[in-house]
Amino acid sequence: MPEQHLSKAKLILVDQDGVLANFESGFYAAWQAAGHPHPALPLEQRRSFYVRDDYPAALRAEVEAIYTAPGFYRDLPAISGAVEALTTLLEQGHDVRICTSPLTQYRHCVPEKYEWVERHLGAEFVTRMIVSKDKTIVHGDLLVDDNPQIKGPCTPSWQHVIFDQPYNRQVEGTRMNWANWRDVLAL
C-alpha cells in the first residue's frame, strides 16, 4: 500500500519487549540451550502475558534464571519489521518513544535495554527511552504494548493499541502488528 501520512503528528509510546525485542524467541532458545527436561513452549502455545505463568509453578526459579541472566536482554533479536516501522513513523513526523517496564530484578535488564536500543535503533533513539513500571503516568496519544492489561494509578492520556501476540488474544481491543500497523494507526 502507498505510504500514508497521518493527518496530525502523534506522540506514540512503543513498548520494548514483545513489540520491538523478541523476548519470546530469546526465551525459547535459552530454555532449550539450558537443557531443561521440560520442553520449551512454542510461541503459538503461549497463553499468559508472563512466560513464567505458562510453565509449571515448580519451575519458576528456572524460568526466572533465563531472563535475569546477563546478556539475555542485550542479545534479544529484533521483531521483524519493528525497526523499519519506527524509522518510518519518525520520518512521517510522529514523536516516537520507547516506553518500557523493567524487571524487578533490574541489574542486567535495565542497562541491557539501553544497549539493545542503541544497537538496533541507534544512539539518538536511546534519548527516546522512558523506563517506568507505571505506564499510566506517561503522556502519549497511543501506547503500542503487548501487555493487554496495563494498570496504574493515573488516568492515561493514551489509547492502548495491543501489539498482537498469541498470549494476549483473549483480550478484546484494537490490535496491530508490524505488518498491518499502517492501516490500524491511520484509523
Contacts (CB under 8 A) with a second copy, residues 51-80: none
- Which of 95, 120, 150, 184 binds a second copy (CB under 8 A)? It is 95
Q: In this structure, how many other beta carbons lie within 10 angstroms of the beta carbon of residue 71?
A: 12
- Which of 111, 122, 166, 173 binds a second copy (CB under 8 A)? It is 111
17 is known as an active-site residue: yes
183 is known as an active-site residue: no
For residue 38, the minimal CB distance to a second copy (Å) is: 30
Query: Residue 33 belongs to what H/E stretch?
Result: helix 23-33
Residue recorded with cell 542479545: 75
Between 40 and 129, whose beta carbon lies closer to a second copy? 129
Query: Residue 144 belongs to what H/E stretch?
Result: strand 142-145
The CA distances from residue 93 to 16, 87, 166, 176, in Å, are 20, 10, 31, 20
**Piece in contact with a second copy (CB under 8 A), picked from 16-24, 41-49, 72-80, 125-133:** 125-133
The reply to whether 134 sits near a second copy by the rule CB under 8 A is yes
- Which of 6, 78, 83, 130 binds a second copy (CB under 8 A)? It is 130
Task: List, in order, residues 6 or more apart from 187 with CB less than 8 Å away.
Answer: 174
Q: In this structure, how many other beta carbons lie within 10 angstroms of the beta carbon of residue 94?
A: 19
Contacts (CB under 8 A) with a second copy, residues 140-179: 140, 153-154, 157
